[in-house]
Amino acid sequence: MDIEPQARAERDTLPVGALILLALTGFTAIVTETLPAGLLPQVADDLNISRALAGQMVTVYAVGSVMAAIPLVSVTQSYARKPLLLAAIFGLLVFDVVTALSHSYAVTLVARFAAGVSAGLGWGILGGYARRLVVDRLKGRALALAMIGTPLALSVGVPLGTFAGGAIGWRIAFLVLAALALCLAGAVAWKMPDSAGQPPERKLSNLAVLRMPGVAPILATAFAWVTAHYILYTYVAPYAEWAGDGSRVSLLLLVFGCAALAGIWITGAAVDRHLRLHVLASLAVFAAATAVLGFLPHSNSVILVGVVLWGLTFGGAATSIQTAASDAAGEGVDIVGAMLTTVWNVSIACGGAVGALIYRSAGVVAFFPAMLALLGVAFAIAYAASANGFTPGARTEH
């Protein structure tokens, strides 16, 4: 039997099941990363620390991803993808269990850092893995489906985790995440098709990929955009208290999540034909949402409008940025994926750290001028990157 035509035929269709497993990997990593943000009061009280210190559970996870993504992905460029994906998932499983069982803040931070290292490896290979499973004409759709785990985590996973953590305890919530990782690892081992890494003769250096036209502006836009988001998202519980009702954290996250799901749909409709316009419009509307949340008199309707706009604009951010970066990098898709993972997590760490400094020194009200400044920088960089990076017109024209 000639298996090569069969393999080509399989690659000419969208492997939905495999892409969903990749999306679930991203989902698990993001929920693991951001779950403490909705449970800061419970975590702080349990570990007998301040809420600002509890917020650093998000920061050190991001630092782990930052330190691991580029070195690990660079070293493993030529490795088969499936064993690397399983290693990342098992890392999340083990260190979620350690986090759930630890009663020491220091041990908890070490476990969170190690979980971040695992996530850095997973995120670094996810985009390239998805694109390798399909023919060229399906790469954009495959990437969009594989990246849907991020907005789903923010829209469904984190609100549910926050609700569950409040109902059954934050430690049980982390054990549930570990159980999810175990089931995911089993499904990947059973059903996920393997894919070869980059052939050794075609391996690219980090510097070569960074120098590709458009890559640096895309990464800079991502940094400013994501940092602005996480200044507020990491401290959404204190924001809800400042806005008038700390018990609304789960509701705000749920509204944000539903809006982010709608943002996914908008991104799916726009990313191939209007990527540049979508990115610029998202940044502008996010700035408007920031002004609504920070400077208008607070009422239920005003806050909900602001949160809806926020979710609509950030829901598809990962897909838009990853698509632009992958297009710009070409065969350097794994390296640029690792770079984007690094930048994304540096941004999360900066958002958590800067948010903590602002919260301690000036309070929640000072979040919003800082966010607007960052969004202005992101918009300016993206707008200027019209020749490369965020080009006008349909992606297939370039």
Is 236 within a domain? yes
Taking a C-beta distance cutoff of 8 angstroms, is the pair 66, 346 a contact?
yes
Q: Does residue 170 fall inside a structural domain?
A: yes
Residue-number span of the structural domain to which 388 is assigned: 8-397
Helix 215-233 to helix 333-361 angle, to the nearest 10 degrees?
40
Residue 2 confidence (pLDDT): 43
Of 124, 104, 102, the residue nearest 48 (C-alpha): 104
* 292: in domain: yes
Total number of residues shown for the chain: 398
Q: Which pLDDT value is given to residue 1?
A: 42
> What pLDDT score was predicted for residue 163?
74
CA angle 376, 382, 383 (to 5 degrees): 85
Q: Provide the pLDDT for residue 395.
A: 63
**What is the SS3 assignment for 345-395?**
HHHHHHHHHHHHHHHHHCCHHHHHHHHHHHHHHHHHHHHHCCCCCCCCCCH
| Alpha-carbon gap, residue 224 to 377, rounded angstroms | 7
Q: What are the average pLDDT values for consecutive 10-residue runs of the chain, which has 398 residues?
A: 48 81 91 82 85 83 84 83 93 95 92 93 84 76 78 72 77 91 95 78 75 92 95 87 76 83 80 86 96 87 92 87 84 80 82 88 91 96 90 67
**Whole-angstrom distance, CA of residue 33 vs CA of residue 120:** 11
Is 1 inside a domain boundary? no
- Which residue from 73, 74, 62, 72 is spatially nearest to 34, judged by alpha carbons? 62
* CATH number of the structural domain spanning residue 289: 1.20.1250.20
Specify the 3-state DSSP secondary structure of 70.
helix
Angle CA 224–226–232, to nearest 5: 110
CB atoms within 10 A of CB 19: 23
Please check whether residue 164 lies inside any domain of the structure: yes
**Do the beta carbons of residue 347 and residue 222 sit within 8 Å?**
yes
pTM summary value: 0.77
Give me the pLDDT at residue 219, please: 95
Angle between helix 139-146 and 105-132 (nearest 10): 160
Q: Is residue 3 part of a domain?
A: no
> What's the structural domain count of the chain?
1
- Which of 380, 325, 347 has the alpha carbon at shortest distance from 215? 325
* Cα distance between residue 178 and residue 161, in whole Å: 13
Tell me whether residue 150 is in a domain: yes
Label residue 20 exposed, middle or buried (CB < 10 Å: 0-12, 13-18, 19+).
middle
Do the domain assignments include residue 2?
A: no
